[in-house]
Amino acid sequence: MPDSSPSVNSRELLSVLAAGAVLLLVTHGLGRFIYTPLLPYLVDDGLMSAGQGAAVATWNYLGYLLGALLAIRWHTVSHIRRLLPAALGVHLLTTAAMTQIDHLSAISAARLINGVANGVVFVQVPALILEWLVLRNRATLSGHLYIGVGLGLLLSSGLVSFSAAWLEGAARWWPAAIISVPLAWWSMACVLRLDVPVRTAANEQLPVGKYPLFDRASVPLFLSYAGAGLGYILPMTFLPLLANQQLPPGHWLLNGAWFVVAMATLLSPSLWNLIGAGIGDIRALRLNFLIQLVGVLAAVVLPGPLGLALCAALVGITFVGTVMLTQRIGRALHPHQGPRLSAAMVSVYGLTQMAGPWLTKQWLDAGGTLTAAFAMGVAALGFGALFAFVVPLQKRQPRPLRT
């Protein structure tokens, strides 16, 4: 049969992938994860303690969870076209607000609202672009979107290090707030122009919402993703702070740990695209979990420069791959409801990653060490790896819910 997929030229393809990557750079790199390299400076500036910093991170991750839940409720293409620009606008406003706030309650509130916006964008942008790519038989290119996360981490590392000597307190947020505006404007304009028709289920009779999200194929994937959320979030929130506690003043890893994470993350999408193409996405996901587990374990059993460097490199090279592979596997298991399933998985991911900073705060307040807290991440990744080995290799045909 002739291929009825819409044609796409390389320039258009590059433009769409670049726009999606830039949106992830803005929201994830300059809005969310820039907090990680900023945290040691904010603590040194007296804006918050380490425990309070963990609490602020928890509020942001709660917002991320709420944003993902919103994306489950409003998951259609028409919903995305309305909600996505609003979420990006809220993200920009709350990032700008961080430059003026020095009260802990206000900081927490702003980070909560920013998290909601971030959750919506992180679900809806990859989901919308993946649908666009699937219609053009280019789904395997979806991983390149997540290069934006690596670029965002690299840019955030550079901005924080560059401005460290001449900014203080809330003003440390200014570089991210200024740079985000033009990048967000261009990329959102490109994404909103995408030609993605509204789709229904395969039989064209029952709407997408009539199909179950949870079945024998998807439940292990959800559980695996839950473990990934808690496992990766500890180093991605506290690694520079851990370096600040373990290393002497002037050590290159004090700022370099986040740079290592950023560089590794930049390589991650292409690496896991290649591995997934070679051995299949599910087998690649299992390997990904094992490597990431070793990385977090290194920070626990090898405190000091070696453990920190291994953790930075191995978590950086894997965590974006976990997201990319899981989202792609989920859509293969339920091709009829890709955006809805993506939102549900990110909600599970958001719930467990929210637990990470909260549990860390309780541990620190009880007198525990940050190094020992990373053991929670090791256990969570072991849990995720276990269920990754239960996800079926073969796609199953979904059955509609009875009405």
- For the chain, the straight-line distance linking the first and the last C-alpha, in angstroms and rounded, comes to 35
pLDDT band at 1 (very low <50, low <70, confident <90, very high): very low
Q: Is residue 203 situated within a structural domain? A: no
**Predicted confidence (pLDDT) at residue 206 exceeds the cutoff of 50:** no
b/e 143-164 (16+ beta carbons within 10 angstroms → b)? bbbbbbbbbbbbbbbbbbbebb
The whole-number average pLDDT for the span 290-297 is 96
Tokens representing residue 349 in the block: 């991911």
Residue-wise pLDDT for 123-158, tens only, equals 888 878 887 887 777 877 777 888 888 899 889 888
**Predicted confidence (pLDDT) at residue 61 exceeds the cutoff of 60:** yes
Quote the CA–CA distance of 325 and 29 in Å, as a whole number.
Answer: 20
Residue-wise pLDDT for 170-203, tens only, equals 999 999 999 999 999 999 998 888 877 655 444 4
Quote the CA–CA distance of 151 and 159 in Å, as a whole number.
Answer: 12
Q: Is residue 2 situated within a structural domain? A: no
CATH number where 27 lies:
1.20.1250.20
123 in Cβ contact with 71 (< 8 Å): yes
The rounded percent of the chain whose pLDDT value lies above 90 is 36
Phi then psi for residue 322, to 5 deg, are -60, -50
Q: Is residue 185 situated within a structural domain? A: yes
Quote the CA–CA distance of 394 and 403 in Å, as a whole number.
Answer: 28
Q: Which helix (H) or strand (E) holds 275?
A: helix 253-279
Q: Is residue 216 situated within a structural domain? A: yes
Collapsed DSSP state (helix, strand, coil) of residue 203 = coil
Q: Is residue 153 situated within a structural domain? A: yes
Q: Is residue 206 situated within a structural domain? A: no
Residue whose entry in the numeric block shows the structure tokens 């587990």: 293
Q: Cβ contacts of residue 335 below 8 Å, gap of 6+? A: 134, 202
pLDDT band at 303 (very low <50, low <70, confident <90, very high): confident
**Predicted confidence (pLDDT) at residue 351 exceeds the cutoff of 70:** yes
Overall domain count for the chain: 1
Window from 29-33, 183-187, 206-210, 312-316 with minimum mean pLDDT: 206-210
Query: What pLDDT is recorded for position 198?
Result: 57
Q: Is residue 332 situated within a structural domain? A: yes
Q: Is residue 330 situated within a structural domain? A: yes
Structural domain for 141, as ranges: 11-196+211-388
